[in-house]
Amino acid sequence: MTNPPTPSGPRGDAGPAVEVRGLRRTYGTGPRAFEAVRGVDLTVARGTVTALLGTNGAGKTSTLEVVEGLARASAGEVRVLGLDPVADRAEVRRRTGVLLQRSGFSGDLTVVETLRMWAATVSDPRGVDESLAMLDLAGRADVRVAGLSGGEQRRLDLAMTLMGRPELVFLDEPSTGLDPESRRGVWLLVEQLVAQGATVLLTTHYLEEAERLAEHVAIMDAGRIVREGTQAEIVAGHPSEIRFETLPVGTATLPDLRGARVSTDGAWTVVRTPDLQATLTALLGWAAAEDVVLPALGARTASLESVFLEVADGTAADTAADPAPTATPTDETLEVVR
Amino acid sequence: MSSTDTSAGTSAGTARSGARSTSYARVRGLAAANLKLQLRNRLTAAYALVLPLLPLALLLTGDRGDDTAVLFGVNYALILVMMFPAYYNLLSATVTRRDELVLKRLRTGETTDAELLASLALPGAGIGLALAVLAVPVAMALGAPFPTNPVLYLLGVAVSLVLFAALAFWTAAWTRNAEAAQMTSLPVIMLAVVGGMGELLPERAARLVELTPGAALEQVVAVGWIGRTPDLTGTVDFAQSWAQAGQPLLVMAVWTALALVLARRSMRWEPRH
């Protein structure tokens, strides 16, 4: 990549780039109706990256499509750059760029023909050569799109998204299908977009992507946002985790690990604690004193991934309702072999 | 991707001028791409450019300047124009672009739905109109007279092009994929060709057939080109031709309005899941 995009910067309304209140989206009617989005509230500040996380079917794309103005909400209110994405469609589209989760191209057009065609539909477009260079496609300019790899097609898609120098960019799983190098290139591009004043709302399955790019994270589950805030806010209060292979039945039980919750999950024993250092110290001290080996011992601080996985496992609600974990083994009494 | 040169990103070349794209520029850009795609595909190119001209060879048969041969040749050339570049190619392109999510992608930009539809229909309509114009010198070289009312002739062609484009969008709505278009297109193709079968049918059926788009176009050609009444029993001059073409033009208008309403109500931009 060479040239990053230059958004024109916020114009007009100085409020949030995106504001969603009570958004609902229902597919179908009657007894077969399915509510994919169930009352989402979301605010995206200007000049920031917000990541919308969630498992498949959580409602991320359904939410994004309404915000992009591609679908109508069943209920609720959406403002994009202070405008209604449906009623003020022309103005919103001129100032935004959209990368769909899945989209297509006419395979018989070349890369450069595709970009020229798109440029004809964009206000004040970036030059085709600039777009090609930006996404490292200059060497593939005369190749028909059908001959591109999946990753190259994704980059072409991104070049189209950024061609109009949007001040607000919607990226639905932008790095899906990209190799690690291309993925890092996209991340760099997003960081430069934001450095120049653009706002980015993205969905992703890659937690590493969200951790690297997003100041603000919203985690969706079953059509609702179940966690929202900065990464630090989301992780705060979430327990760190120590895990080791469950010890065979023996004679001794684990010590009193104050403030920690111990559970077994098949072959693994998991200790969740709000104070990783104290709990780990106590556990290792006990192991040394008792001459116990803790097989495959591992410890990790609370992370976006651990919060996300708990949401995905459907356990987040429990954790949220019980922020101060109980002490000592609760699920099962654990025994150790000396 | 290679590493990014951040300094280049703030070059003057990337500054936004504020110029807005126009509806004309968007439709022109997309239609040009659609035309290129249509001509790159050998089958659709042959359907669009070669097939409709073949009936004009009928003018080589029979007496030079024979009105019936002119009517037959020109009429079938126009019917093929409606069936292939205006209808079938458009149906196929719409279904393919929809299933490949091209239409969905294009809808994320500044292009409006109406512009998108216009850009899809324009290549076929343009080719159709060009062939209709080209048919005049070709037919004249083969002995046909200059059209009695060329404006009426081109008006009939233009309205028919809009009608068959709308029918293509409507058919696309209930066509599952491009292969299925070979079957789902049959009813409309019948509507186009059945007009020429009136003489073979019982009187009551023949009257109904006169109300089809293909028959209406044939009648406009009879009035507008060879200067005959729609039933071919009398002759008309330029001024009389407008009145004589009233009924077939009305039939076309009703069909066009119906097709536009159906297309508008049923248009799908994404494949069914």
Residue linked to tokens 């008006």: B155
Name the minimum distance, in Å, from the CA of B186 to any CA of chain A: 26
The verdict on B233 touching A (C-beta cutoff 8 Å) is no
Cross-chain Cβ contact A100/B108 below 8 Å: yes
Within this chain, do residues A116 and A161 fall inside the same structural domain, yes or no?
yes
pLDDT of B3 strictly over 80:
no
The verdict on B114 touching A (C-beta cutoff 8 Å) is no
pLDDT of B9 strictly over 70:
no
For A13, the token pair is 């309304």
Query: What is the distance between the alpha carbons of residues B123 and B30, in angstroms, rounded to a whole number?
Result: 10
A95 domain residue, yes or no: yes
Count structural domains, chain A: 2
Which chain B positions have a beta carbon within 8 Å of A120's beta carbon? 21, 25-26, 28-30, 32
Residue linked to tokens 């899945």: A102
Mean pLDDT computed over B175-194? 93
Amino acid code (one letter) for B253: A
Indicate the residue of A104, A114, A135 with minimum beta-carbon distance to B101: A104
Query: What is the distance between the alpha carbons of residues A126 and A116, in angstroms, rounded to a whole number?
Result: 10
A283 domain residue, yes or no: yes
Name the minimum distance, in Å, from the CA of B42 to any CA of chain A: 12
CATH of the domain at A90: 3.40.50.300
Strands A34-44 and A18-27: antiparallel
Within this chain, do residues A205 and A163 fall inside the same structural domain, yes or no?
yes
Within this chain, do residues A293 and A213 fall inside the same structural domain, yes or no?
no
For B23, the token pair is 């509806």
pLDDT of B201 strictly over 50:
yes
Within this chain, do residues A30 and A128 fall inside the same structural domain, yes or no?
yes
A280-332 tens-digit pLDDT: 999 999 999 988 889 999 998 888 888 888 888 764 444 444 433 333 333 33
Mean pLDDT computed over B242-249? 94
Within this chain, do residues A250 and A215 fall inside the same structural domain, yes or no?
no
Q: Which of A96, A79, A68, A69 is nearest to A10 (CA)?
A: A96
Phi, psi of A264 (to 5 degrees): -115, 140
With contact defined as beta carbons under 8 Å apart, do B181 and B92 qualify? Answer: yes
pLDDT band for position B95 (cuts 50, 70, 90): very high
A130 domain residue, yes or no: yes
* CA dihedral for B219, B224, B225, B226, sign (positive or negative): positive
Within this chain, do residues A170 and A255 fall inside the same structural domain, yes or no?
no
Cross-chain Cβ contact B40/A108 below 8 Å: yes
Mean pLDDT computed over B144-149? 91
A219 domain residue, yes or no: yes
ipTM value of the model?
Answer: 0.86
Mean pLDDT computed over B216-231? 91
A311 domain residue, yes or no: no
A163-205 tens-digit pLDDT: 999 999 999 999 888 889 889 988 999 999 999 999 999 998 8
Query: What is the distance between the alpha carbons of residues B34 and B37, in angstroms, rounded to a whole number?
Result: 5
Indicate the residue of B16, B25, B108 with minimum beta-carbon distance to A120: B25
Provide the pLDDT for residue B62. 61
Within this chain, do residues A50 and A170 fall inside the same structural domain, yes or no?
yes
Amino acid code (one letter) for A177: G
Q: Give the bridge partners for A242, in sequence order.
A: A271, A299
A13 domain residue, yes or no: no
Within this chain, do residues A274 and A215 fall inside the same structural domain, yes or no?
no
Residue A278 is part of which domain span? 239-301
Provide the pLDDT for residue A315. 46
Provide the pLDDT for residue B69. 81
With contact defined as beta carbons under 8 Å apart, do A112 and A132 qualify? Answer: yes
Query: What is the distance between the alpha carbons of residues A279 and A260, in angstroms, rounded to a whole number?
Result: 7
Within this chain, do residues A163 and A206 fall inside the same structural domain, yes or no?
yes
Ranges of residues in chain A whose predicted pLDDT is under 50: 3-12, 315-338
pLDDT band for position B16 (cuts 50, 70, 90): low
B43-55 tens-digit pLDDT: 889 988 888 888 8
Q: What sections of chain B are H helices per DSSP?
A: 23-40, 42-49, 67-81, 89-99, 102-106, 113-141, 150-173, 181-184, 186-193, 203-209, 213-224, 238-244, 246-266
Cross-chain Cβ contact A120/B8 below 8 Å: no
Q: Which of A18, A12, A17, A118 is nearest to A66 (CA)?
A: A18
Provide the pLDDT for residue B49. 87
Q: Which residue has the higher pLDDT, A2 or B89?
A: B89
Cross-chain Cβ contact B100/A100 below 8 Å: no
Provide the pLDDT for residue A14. 72
Q: Which of A271, A325, A277, A278 is nearest to A297 (CA)?
A: A271
Within this chain, do residues A40 and A183 fall inside the same structural domain, yes or no?
yes
A223 domain residue, yes or no: yes
Start-to-end Cα distance in chain A: 59
Global pTM value: 0.83
Cross-chain Cβ contact A106/B107 below 8 Å: no
Within this chain, do residues A33 and A103 fall inside the same structural domain, yes or no?
yes
Provide the pLDDT for residue B225. 92
